């Protein structure tokens, strides 16, 4: 099935439009854009820059995808935005290309939902199955691992990492890294437990949830500094889930960690 392009849409010469793409009224598609099969731009969507969008992703009105970074150091370098498959990008969402200083690439995985007004900043790396609620914002250089949920009006500081399966409450400012499966809430982002609901919904075994609960308590109340507690856990645990948390804590970071309360 060939692409369907509304007569009022403007598609620049050079854009790569696959079969089955639907481009609605008053959309603008730049010359360096690639739209894979099944992509749908509802209406009034702008896709520009060196931007690739994967199969069956749907973008809703007034989203602006692939514009230049909101970074005063940016000087017109050729950088990219890559968006995976089956994403839902709702009204007014913005996603920027990368910067040379940040690696030149902003990347979004598959099966994500970006609700109205969400923002993905330059050089951010977003995993699979991520949900960003209304008006949530990622600053530049963030790393968001798979299955993270970010509540409405939450703000994620630049260079912050959020581990797999974590959940960030609404109206929360996160300025430090968040461990996998962490639960963060309060205006200044306090690590207040684990995402037990998400773990259960994902079908994680009770034994692993119990191990994670014990690991969290050790991180919260054990002797020594936070990193020292994590190193002790790495020597003692036989749970893959706890090991994931430990490896995250002991990995490279540009920010400190939110310590358990």
Residues whose CB falls within 8 Å of the CB of residue 179, separated by 6 or more in sequence, listed in order: 163, 166, 191, 219, 245, 248, 249, 257, 258
Q: Rounded CA gap, 213 and 208, in Å?
A: 9
The single residue of 129, 140, 169, 198 carrying the catalytic annotation is 140
The reply to whether 123 belongs to the active site is yes
The single residue listed with the structure tokens 């050729």 is 78
Q: How far is CA 114 from CA 44, 94, 242, in A?
A: 17, 10, 29
226-236 and 240-250 are packed helices; what angle lies between their axes, rounded to 10 degrees? 150
Q: Is 84 a known active-site residue?
A: no
- Point out the catalytic residue in the list 123, 129, 151, 163: 123
Buried b (16+ CB within 10 A) or exposed e, 145-172: bbbbbbbbbbbbbbbbbbbbbbbbbeeb
198 φ, ψ (degrees, to nearest 5)? -65, -40
Q: Which two tokens mark 12? A: 């620049």
Please tell me whether residue 31 adopts helix, strand or coil conformation.
Answer: coil
Active site residue 75: no
* Buried/exposed code over 16-26 (b: 16+ C-beta within 10 A; e: otherwise): ebeebbbbbeb
Catalytic residue (one of 102, 110, 117, 122): 122
CA 177, CA 220: separation in Å to the nearest integer? Answer: 15
Annotated catalytic sites, by residue? 122-123, 140
């Amino acid at each position: 099935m060939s692409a369907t392009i509304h007569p009022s849409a403007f598609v620049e010469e050079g854009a790569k439009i696959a079969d089955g793409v639907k481009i609605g009224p008053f959309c603008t598609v730049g010359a360096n854009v690639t739209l894979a099969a099944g992509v749908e731009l509802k209406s009034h969507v702008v896709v520009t820059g060196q931007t690739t969008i994967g199969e069956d992703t749907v973008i809703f009105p007034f989203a602006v995808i692939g514009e230049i970074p909101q970074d005063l150091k940016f000087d017109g370098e050729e950088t990219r935005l890559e968006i995976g498959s089956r994403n839902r990008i709702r009204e007014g969402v913005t996603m920027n290309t990368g910067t040379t200083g940040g690696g030149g690439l902003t990347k979004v995985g598959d099966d994500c939902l970006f609700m109205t007004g969400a923002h993905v900043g330059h050089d951010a790396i977003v995993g699979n199955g991520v949900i960003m609620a209304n008006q949530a914002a990622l600053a530049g250089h963030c790393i968001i691992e798979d299955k993270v949920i970010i509540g409405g009006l939450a703000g994620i500081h630049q260079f912050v990492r959020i581990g797999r399966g974590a959940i960030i409450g609404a109206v929360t400012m996160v300025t430090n890294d968040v461990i996998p499966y962490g639960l963060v809430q309060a205006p200044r982002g306090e690590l207040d437990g684990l995402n037990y609901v998400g773990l259960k919904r994902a079908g994680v075994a009770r034994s692993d949830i119990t191990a994670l609960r014990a690991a969290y308590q050790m991180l919260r109340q054990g002797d020594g500094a936070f990193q020292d507690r994590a190193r002790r856990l790495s020597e003692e645990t036989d749970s893959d889930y706890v090991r994931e948390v430990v490896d995250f804590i002991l990995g490279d970071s540009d920010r400190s960690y939110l310590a358990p309360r």
